Chains A and B, each alone.
Chain A
Amino acid sequence: DTAVSQTPKYLVTQMGNDKSIKCEQNLGHDTMYWYKQDSKKFLKIMFSYNNKELIINETVPNRFSPKSPDKAHLNLHINSLELGDSAVYFCASSQEIETPLHFGNGTRLTVT
């Protein structure tokens, strides 16, 4: 039913921990993305994958590592979490490059 689904919806963890956010799309899209929305609602791209191949890698700390086991999944693993990582992380997909993005409902990460 849900086109782009992310789990978990909420994630509360302590500084220094390692956590993962999973994303799956059932739209048959070739391209998937991770965006970060900060406390001021500003949205910025982190990564994008096209057919499991990394095509965009913005200036993101190495602690963030995306993994795409197949074109329907794009997971985000974060090592050594810091307070500044607290944000809402959105997964998205598109049919191909330069077509509209469809977003998931977001994962609210709180680092304490």
Chain B
Amino acid sequence: GEDVEQSLFLSVREGDSSVINCTYTDSSSTYLYWYKQEPGAGLQLLTYIFSNMDMKQDQRLTVLLNKKDKHLSLRIADTQTGDSAIYFCAESKAGGGNKLTFGTGTQLKVEL
């Protein structure tokens, strides 16, 4: 199957860490991605991880991958109001022609 699921909403206070979770069902996934979509804007590639990696860190962003549980998370340290957006995880698999299967998106709201 090709289901990718995320919780719909997350609310955090400015300065706290945010953790956005994603679960997927396709064990043949090769790359897993995180995209950010601000209101009225396109999808911005934040980071991605290859399926043989456990973790990837890029400045305030940390991606954790638990391949056994098919669980992906994105941690945003020191969350700012500018981080308020919808965050999508997506997976692709080898031989799939780079067809991305997207999650349902998590709306992150950062409160002062």
Contacts and interface: CB of A to CB of B under 8 A. Distances in A.
Given A41-B105, A104-B42, A99 B98 contact: yes
Interface stretch (B20-28, B53-61, B75-83, B86-94): B86-94
Interface stretch (A14-22, A72-80, A90-98): A90-98
Contact of A98 (B44, B45, B98): B98
Contacts of B41: 105-106
A42 B98 contact: no
A48 B86 contact: no
A50 B44 CA distance: 22
A104 B96 CA distance: 22
B45 A100 contact: yes
Contacts of B100: 35, 43, 45, 101
B45 A90 contact: no
A44 interface: yes
Contacts of A56: 97, 99
B33 A103 contact: no
Contacts of A33: 98
Contact of A31 (B33, B42, B98): B98
Given A41-B86, A42-B105, A103-B43, 12 more contacts: A31-B98, A40-B104, A44-B102, A48-B97, A55-B97, A56-B97, A92-B43, A97-B98, A98-B94, A100-B33, A101-B98, A104-B42
20 contacts: A41-B37, A41-B86, A41-B104, A41-B105, A42-B104, A42-B105, A45-B100, A48-B97, A56-B99, A58-B99, A97-B97, A98-B31, A98-B98, A100-B33, A100-B45, A101-B45, A101-B98, A101-B100, A103-B44, A105-B41
User: What are the 5 A-B residue pairs with the smallest beta carbon separation, nearest first?
Assistant: A105-B42, A103-B43, A43-B102, A103-B42, A97-B98
Interface of B: 30-31, 33, 35, 37, 41-45, 48, 86, 88, 90, 92, 94, 97-100, 102, 104-105
